[in-house]
Amino acid sequence: MIEYQDLIAKNSQYTSLLPSIDSANVFLLESEDTIYLENFALMLAKAILCTGTTRPCGKCQDCLKMSLVSHSDVHIYPKFSKGVVVDDVKDMLDRIYLAPLESDKQVFIFNSFSSATPQAQNKLLKILEEGPSNSYIILCVSAISKVLRTVQSRCYKTKLLPIPSDDLKKVLDISDNSALDRVLSLAGGSLTRAIRYAQDDDFQGIYDAVLSTICDMKDSRQVLAYSCMLGEKSEDLSIIFELFEIFFRYLLLVRLGREDFVEDKSCLERLRSVQQEYSPDAIDLILREIYKAREKLEFNCNKQTIIDSFLLYILEVKYLCRE
Ligand SMILES: [Zn+2]
């Protein structure tokens, strides 16, 4: 098994980004894969601070400290709440004109910057333009659309690509080959998803429960039983909705005769058996509803209500869109 940082060090997107640290000071990294994104930012900071010849050399004092994520010239936000707020930017402004402590540069990393309030983003604007040349700012976002255009235009932008399965395999600790294949095909190149699936002791149980809901739930009187079953399988509804999304995408591919694009072949037979029950229109509506449900989850709405109404919705659109 290799560490996440080693995975990134050999990634071609990372190595091709490195020359830009000589010309840019502000980076905007975009990915929904949070764990990969945050580690990518740390690796970029490592290369910025490295004093070796091929950066990051992995041997100099700065590299060694970065490997332990304990470099005193790297400041990571948000510090005060879950999302980035004005106080985070104020904290950065207090530090940015001070001399670095250990090296000759400073790096400020803003994780989950998609959540930054417009006030915080506006406060950051001026420094993006006129910050000291030995300071670097890395903004990590899940979706660039949540960043003000004025902020975007001052950044060197990079959208992180999915991680190749062969690389992802190296950081997962799964000895069972068929389980490994399933995790890899469902993760879709996301380190965050792969780790989450790999670490869930009952991932197979959740997988079966979601698939069974799609294939076997036929009547609104069954909704309660299915929602209880799903709730028992996982406290974490986001993993359940991720699987719903994956299976409904697969189902759409089956309906459109594009089974070759389905990564996880082991669910194909079951999906084929119910394809006539779901028209492409119904699947499209259900996928939209999944996005809405996931947004509600972020706002901490009542979990039971979210899952109950989603299951009812599936039955409703199946009925309304029947061909
Ligand atoms: Zn180094």
What are φ and ψ of residue 154, in 5° steps? -100, 5
Q: What is the pLDDT of residue 206?
A: 94
Q: Given CATH 3.40.50.970, say whether it is the number of domain 4-161.
A: no
pLDDT exceeds cutoff 80 at 2: no
pLDDT tens for 174-218 read 888 888 998 999 999 999 999 999 988 889 999 999 999 999 999
Structure tokens at 152: 């975007």
Q: Tell me the CA–centroid distance for residue 230 and ligand 1, in Å.
A: 48
Q: For 153, which DSSP code?
A: T
Average pLDDT, stretch 40-67? 92
pLDDT tens for 255-300 read 999 999 998 999 999 999 999 999 999 999 999 999 999 888 887 7
Q: What is the pLDDT of residue 67?
A: 82
Task: Annotate 132-191 with DSSP letters as a single string.
Answer: -TTEEEEEEES-GGGS-HHHHTTSEEEEPPPPPHHHHHHH-----HHHHHHHHHHHTT-H
Output Rg (C-alpha) for the chain, integer angstroms: 23
What confidence tier does 301 reach under pLDDT thresholds 50, 70, 90?
confident
Q: Collapse the DSSP code of 138 into the 3-class scheme (helix H, G, I; strand E, B; otherwise coil) and give the result.
A: strand
pLDDT tens for 233-255 read 888 888 999 999 999 999 999 99
Q: Tell me the CA–centroid distance for residue 234 and ligand 1, in Å.
A: 42
Q: Tell me the CA–centroid distance for residue 98 and ligand 1, in Å.
A: 23
Task: Annotate 205-242 with DSSP letters as a single string.
Answer: HHHHHHHHHHHH--SGGGHHHHHHHHHHH-S-HHHHHH
Q: Collapse the DSSP code of 55 into the 3-class scheme (helix H, G, I; strand E, B; otherwise coil) and give the result.
A: coil
Q: What is the pLDDT of residue 59?
A: 92
Q: Cα–Cα distance between 307 and 296 in angstroms, integer?
A: 11
Identify whether the C-beta of residue 186 lies closer than 8 Å to the C-beta of residue 180. no
CB atoms closer than 10 angstroms to residue 94: 9
Q: What is the pLDDT of residue 297?
A: 86
Q: What is the pLDDT of residue 37?
A: 97
pLDDT exceeds cutoff 60 at 88: yes
CB atoms closer than 10 angstroms to residue 287: 15
**What distance separates the 2 farthest-apart alpha carbons in the chain?**
69
Identify whether the C-beta of residue 25 lies closer than 8 Å to the C-beta of residue 131. yes
Q: Tell me the CA–centroid distance for residue 190 and ligand 1, in Å.
A: 27
Average pLDDT, stretch 224-232? 93
Fold classification of 200-320 (topology level): Zinc Finger, Delta Prime; domain 3 (1.20.272)
Helix, strand, coil percent content, the chain, rounded in steps of 5: 60, 10, 30
Q: Which of 37, 25, 171 is nearest to 108 (CA)?
A: 25
Q: What is the pLDDT of residue 11?
A: 92
Rounded percentage of the chain residues whose pLDDT exceeds 70: 99
pLDDT exceeds cutoff 80 at 323: no
Q: Tell me the CA–centroid distance for residue 102 and ligand 1, in Å.
A: 13
What confidence tier does 41 reach under pLDDT thresholds 50, 70, 90?
very high
Tokens 């041997």, residue located: 59
First to last CA, the chain: 50
Helix or strand (DSSP H, E) at 252:
helix 237-255
Q: Cα–Cα distance between 249 and 260 in angstroms, integer?
A: 13
Identify whether the C-beta of residue 183 lies closer than 8 Å to the C-beta of residue 266. no
Average pLDDT, stretch 5-33? 94
Q: Cα–Cα distance between 151 and 318 in angstroms, integer?
A: 43
Q: Is the peptide bond before 100 cis (omega within 30 degrees of 0)?
A: no
Average pLDDT, stretch 115-121? 93
Mean pLDDT rounded to a whole number for the chain: 92
Residues 6+ apart with CB under 8 A from 17: 44, 158
Q: Collapse the DSSP code of 81 into the 3-class scheme (helix H, G, I; strand E, B; otherwise coil) and give the result.
A: coil
CATH 1.20.272.10 domain position(s) in the chain = 200-320
Lowest-confidence region among 82-86, 122-126, 254-258, 298-302: 298-302
Tokens 């540069």, residue located: 105
Rounded percentage of the chain residues whose pLDDT exceeds 90: 75
pLDDT tens for 65-83 read 888 778 999 999 999 988 8
Q: Tell me the CA–centroid distance for residue 36 and ligand 1, in Å.
A: 21
Q: What is the pLDDT of residue 1?
A: 55
- Predicted TM-score (pTM) of the model is 0.86
pLDDT tens for 134-184 read 999 999 999 999 999 999 999 999 999 999 999 999 988 888 888 899 899
Q: Collapse the DSSP code of 276 into the 3-class scheme (helix H, G, I; strand E, B; otherwise coil) and give the result.
A: helix
Q: Cα–Cα distance between 103 and 45 in angstroms, integer?
A: 12
CATH 3.40.50.300 domain position(s) in the chain = 4-161
Residues with CB in 5 Å of ion ligand 1: 50, 52, 56-57, 60, 63
